Chains A and B, each alone.
Chain A
Amino acid sequence: MIIPVRALNDLGIARFASWLDIPEGDPPKELLIDGSVTDVVDGGSMIDTSREFATSYDLGLYLAREVFNVPGDRLALLANAGMWAWISLLFIESLLAKKKKPGKPLAKPHYIMQSPRLAYRLIARTAWDLVSLHGESAKVALGSSRSPWGDMAEQMTSRQEIYSHRSFWPVACALYAMPDGSIKRGTTTKRHKDARRDPESRVGLGSVQRLPFTFRQFERTYNLRQMTGDQIVALLPDEYRKWRQA
């Protein structure tokens, strides 16, 4: 069914939040068209309630290409907490855990905007925004079919200096993405303190946690905004060699 995009009001968000706290029974989808807890969002955007998504990237692609496909005020859309809560509830089946506790919700910030600091974790909102900003490159963070919000999504969206960096995402895609949309093994391995202090240790080198740091260093020397992804990849230091080759 195609219906206008709506937004949950405070009462609607509270009732959705209650279900997220104690997810017993079906999600409260009756809220979606309840005029006492929702309002239609200005702009005339329409949405297909029957859609399901294998990955968060697919959700972002649908929202970017078919729902919010008219140029508009990106910041206003991002700030519409009620609308993103409504979209999260609408597509909740696609946004629940798949491996650990399958069918149960992830943490509440993945569905409801609780603070600006954690807004990046709101899956539907970030998926739409990343696909709008980076196109297919967003798949490297959101393309997991094992979880709607994996470690890769967390690492690539929690750092604000790379979130909207248009040169970073194609490079991350070239280094870490597999042809089938999954990511290479070890991509999210962290380089802990002990490894940093051990010159022999290669644990975590070249991982996605390191790439923003490398980018920051290279931005001191190159105008990365004017370079292609391939040019940047060719420039990266030795610790990225295995990722280039794999």
Chain B
Amino acid sequence: MGQISRTTNPTGLKQIDRKHFVARVKDDGPNGRVFWLESFDFESARIDPGVRMGCVAHAGATEEYFDLGPVSDFNKSPLSLEGIATDKPLKFRFMFNEPGESLLVGYADGVRAIDEAGNLGSSLVDIEPRKLDGVAWKLVLPEGSGTGDKPNVLVEMSLFPTAAIAVSNPWFGVLVMPEVMRQIAMAIAHDPDALDDPESWIEPWSAFISAIGVDAPVASDEDDVAARQDWADRVVERFAAKGIYKHHLAKAMAEMDGAKS
């Protein structure tokens, strides 16, 4: 096989939209957690029927690979996630290759089980309902430096059974998200060089910081916590000026005044 550089894509492979997948997860009691691919619309994804599909289920530092067979007749039976961490966000990467070939013809990253993902679409943070034993929410910043990772807001599932419910809840929007933003901003301020490091999870935030009209933080002395806090405050202020935040604030205030949400 010939060499390729890491910045080229000479094979013309397709990035397949996550909307074509319906992945499901279920806690199967004594058999542990299982997942299955309920449907994959290979015609809409423009994948030939004979192409084979593989899947990597991953959560935190745990992962498992599954060969699902040809896309026109893929394995729909439940597959064990026994070795996959349950306290980290579960995601799936689907890969497609011709039979007998390792070269991919397509892939999809970051697919979430419909039961867990709600309808968030793409964003810079994930929201994940979990049992938090009395804590309403907490932010988990990516470990290591992988660009595929995002900050993950864990929410108590008895309060927010799905991510979509959390996202649409005005109190979540006005009370939780600014603090999420502040913690992320502090992490960025702690390592500003990472904003232009394509190997860091922080790099995708560069465009966001720019879009809300805040200059990138200046690398400061390790002990200069006050400077980092000042910068994080500016980020939160600009974040709170966004339309979606104002919308949530208006809804929350209306709710306090007696209106039904």
Q: Are A225 and B54 in contact (CB under 8 A)?
A: yes
Q: Are B65 and A164 in contact (CB under 8 A)?
A: no
Can you list 15 pairs linking A and B with CB atoms under 8 Å apart? A160-B60, A160-B61, A160-B149, A161-B144, A161-B148, A164-B61, A217-B6, A218-B6, A219-B107, A223-B54, A223-B102, A223-B104, A224-B102, A231-B1, A235-B1
Q: In the bound complex, what is the Cα–Cα distance between A213 and B148 (angstroms)?
A: 10
Q: Are A165 and B104 in contact (CB under 8 A)?
A: no
Which residues of A are found within 8 Å of B85, using beta-carbon distances? Answer: 75
Q: Kindly report which residue of chain A lies nearest to residue B148, judged by CB atoms.
A: A161
Q: Kindly report which residue of chain A lies nearest to residue B65, judged by CB atoms.
A: A225
Q: Is A36 an interface residue (CB 8 A)?
A: no
Residues of B within 8 A of A (CB): 1, 3-7, 9, 11, 13, 54, 56, 58, 60-63, 65, 82-83, 85-87, 93, 95, 97, 102-104, 107, 143-149, 193, 197-199
Closest CB-CB distance, A103 to chain B, in whole Å? 30
Pairs A-B, 6 closest by C-beta atoms: A163-B61, A160-B61, A159-B144, A217-B6, A225-B65, A161-B146
Question: CB < 8 Å: which of A164, A193, A227, A238 contacts B193?
Answer: A193
Q: Are A226 and B63 in contact (CB under 8 A)?
A: no
Question: CB < 8 Å: which of A75, A212, A223, A227 contacts B146?
Answer: A212
Q: Are B62 and A158 in contact (CB under 8 A)?
A: no
Q: Are A216 and B61 in contact (CB under 8 A)?
A: no
Q: Are B4 and A221 in contact (CB under 8 A)?
A: yes
Q: In the bound complex, what is the Cα–Cα distance between A221 and B101 (angstroms)?
A: 11
Q: Are A160 and B3 in contact (CB under 8 A)?
A: no
Q: Are B102 and A222 in contact (CB under 8 A)?
A: yes
Q: In the bound complex, what is the Cα–Cα distance between A236 and B144 (angstroms)?
A: 23
Q: Is A201 an interface residue (CB 8 A)?
A: no
Which residues of B are found within 8 Å of A236, using beta-carbon distances? Answer: 3
Q: Are B6 and A213 in contact (CB under 8 A)?
A: yes
Q: Kindly report which residue of chain B lies nearest to residue A155, judged by CB atoms.
A: B144
Assuming A165-B63, A225-B65, what are 10 further A-B pairs, CB within 8 angstroms?
Answer: A159-B145, A163-B62, A164-B62, A216-B146, A216-B148, A218-B6, A226-B54, A226-B97, A231-B102, A237-B6
Which residues of A are found within 8 Å of B5, using beta-carbon distances? Answer: 237
Main secondary structure of the interface of A (DSSP, over half): helix
Q: Are A221 and B104 in contact (CB under 8 A)?
A: yes
Closest CB-CB distance, B190 to chain A, in whole Å? 15
Q: In the bound complex, what is the Cα–Cα distance between A77 and B93 (angstroms)?
A: 27
Which residues of A are found within 8 Å of B197, using beta-carbon distances? Answer: 193, 196
Q: Is A116 an interface residue (CB 8 A)?
A: yes
Q: Is A69 an interface residue (CB 8 A)?
A: no
Q: Is A3 an interface residue (CB 8 A)?
A: no
Q: Is A214 an interface residue (CB 8 A)?
A: yes
Which residues of B are found within 8 Å of A221, using beta-carbon distances? Answer: 4, 9, 11, 13, 103-104
Q: Is A101 an interface residue (CB 8 A)?
A: no
Q: Is A166 an interface residue (CB 8 A)?
A: yes
Which residues of A are found within 8 Å of B148, using beta-carbon distances? Answer: 161, 216
Q: Are B199 and A213 in contact (CB under 8 A)?
A: yes
Q: In the bound complex, what is the Cα–Cα distance between A118 and B198 (angstroms)?
A: 24
Q: Is A120 an interface residue (CB 8 A)?
A: yes
Chain B CB count within 10 A is highest, among A116, A231, A236, for A116
Q: In the bound complex, what is the Cα–Cα distance between A234 and B3 (angstroms)?
A: 8
Q: In the bound complex, what is the Cα–Cα distance between A237 and B56 (angstroms)?
A: 24
Q: Are A223 and B147 in contact (CB under 8 A)?
A: no
Q: Are B83 and A220 in contact (CB under 8 A)?
A: no
Q: Are B102 and A226 in contact (CB under 8 A)?
A: yes
A:181-214 near B, CB below 8 Å: 193, 196, 212-214
Which residues of B are found within 8 Å of A117, using beta-carbon distances? Answer: 143
Q: Are A75 and B61 in contact (CB under 8 A)?
A: no
Q: In the bound complex, what is the Cα–Cα distance between A212 and B5 (angstroms)?
A: 14
Q: In the bound complex, what is the Cα–Cα distance between A223 and B54 (angstroms)?
A: 8
Which residues of B are found within 8 Å of A238, using beta-carbon distances? Answer: 3
Q: In the bound complex, what is the Cα–Cα distance between A70 and B206 (angstroms)?
A: 48
Q: In the bound complex, what is the Cα–Cα distance between A218 and B1 (angstroms)?
A: 13
Question: CB < 8 Å: which of B61, B83, B87 contacts A120?
Answer: B61
Q: Kindly report which residue of chain A lies nearest to residue B54, judged by CB atoms.
A: A223
Which residues of A are found within 8 Å of B198, using beta-carbon distances? Answer: 213
